[in-house]
Structure 1
């Protein structure tokens, strides 16, 4: 796909943008939605190139954010944004939701990217505000998923729901599990408990797939993925921090091929 593309992965807390050219994705950056809400999308203008051909976005931050982004892109580049939506089937993946449109578009795009690369059973683990798990079998069929509060969300819930727990000394990074399962301080107990809750969910998902004779590749992504030690989940693991942006590229490639095909079939006048 030899076009200059601007890609947006708009999550619950952060917007991640990327630029794609003939050699692939060559620049990415994340900006908090808090900053954008305070200063507007124009804070991106100085960081983006002067010329773009297409723009594609995965957005789970709501219609208001989508409208503001649409105005920004139209103002600076005079192009429309292709906002992706979840489908029943596409790019080799069959959506497992009873109501396919209700599946978060970020999860749908991530599945497209992961399946495009692996084309065998896999489990996507997205570390964001929430931890999401999505399982796909050897035929590209989405088996369903789970949505679990992320580490920071768990920590913050303790602050609001208790009176004597102080999480100010906690950072929100993942760490290799200690040899001691039980914490010897409140901080250790909170960190260990929260982290083990997420690990337990992941192990349960893998076990469930193995019961169906599947040996999934674990695909790690999300804003928190950068903090995860490389030996955290074992050998059968891939780290793909730009998974959603990769999925948007796959979608744009198919759209571009369709457009070229349609142009080649336009009847000549005269």
Structure 2
């Protein structure tokens, strides 16, 4: 049994895999990290516990404290030049965000051809994975929530919009939400246009994945918790 944890800026996602399928998955907010302490009691004897953390060393320490019974098999994953069928062509491979790295490895395990790997969370990352498994590079832009807040905080009259997507918005809140989603989807589609391969696809994951996916005009697949798929693959690689 493998336990995987993806510690992001806002939430910690976790999953338990029995070698065939996911037995359970869940998430807790970073503010509720103490809730992780119940996992070792529910799943007492994992073979491996894999952690990807981008929330800083203090959070990594707090996670380790809550998961103390698992300490002997807890492994914090780092980005590397090669793993899981993916060749990391980042200028400094070790500096690639480990969440992006795990998402790329997960994407490779799910799709053998060229893929655009999109993580739509606090930030939106758009990474290019070639058909031969090479990670060629990628973009980072503010996520949907950050874009909404930046408009509300940086202007005198615009609200923290709670509108909806409309092709031709006719009120300010819809105009803000629609503009943000058009910007996110447009960035994804521009990068996808540069991706070569007859079976190319966009694999999109993260809390805002569904909102962006509704605006896409390219082949896509929604994948819940893609970094967990990568962590699982790294555990058996």
Corresponding residue for 1:121?
A: 114
Residue 195 (structure 1) shift = 0.9
1:58 to 52, 55, 60: 52
Contact map agreement 1:6 1:56 (CA 8 A) in 2: yes
Asked if residue 144 in structure 1 is aligned to residue 137 in structure 2, the reply is: yes
Asked if residue 252 in structure 1 is aligned to residue 222 in structure 2, the reply is: no
2:20 to 20, 23, 28: 23
Q: CA RMSD in A?
A: 2.2
Deviations 1:157-204 (Å, cap 9, x if unpaired)?
11221222221x516xxx6x5332xx2211011111111111110111
Q: Between Structure 1 and Structure 2, how many residues are aligned?
A: 237
Corresponding residue for 1:69?
A: 63
Residue 206 (structure 1) shift = 1.2
Provide the rounded CA distance (Å) in 1 between the counterparts of 2:41 and 2:141.
34
Corresponding residue for 2:2?
A: 5
Secondary structure in structure 2 of the residue aligned to 1:16: strand
Contact map agreement 1:70 1:80 (CA 8 A) in 2: no
1:240 to 223, 229, 233: 223
Corresponding residue for 2:177?
A: 191
2:84 to 84, 88, 91: 91
**Unmatched runs of 5 consecutive residues or more in structure 1:** 255-270
2:203 to 216, 219, 233: 219
Residue 71 (structure 1) shift = 2.1
Deviations 1:49-101 (Å, cap 9, x if unpaired)?
23333210111011111111112222x33524111111111222111210001
Contact map agreement 1:129 1:150 (CA 8 A) in 2: yes
Corresponding residue for 1:205?
A: 191
Asked if residue 178 in structure 1 is aligned to residue 166 in structure 2, the reply is: yes
Secondary structure in structure 2 of the residue aligned to 1:166: coil
Larger displacement relative to structure 2 (108-117 or 50-59)? 50-59
Provide the rounded CA distance (Å) in 1 between the counterparts of 2:57 and 2:199.
38
Provide the rounded CA distance (Å) in 2 between the counterparts of 1:83 and 1:142.
21
Deviations 1:32-62 (Å, cap 9, x if unpaired)?
11222xxx35554488323333210111011
Under a length normalisation based on structure 1, what TM-score does the superposition of the two structures give? 0.80
**Unmatched runs of 5 consecutive residues or more in structure 2:** none
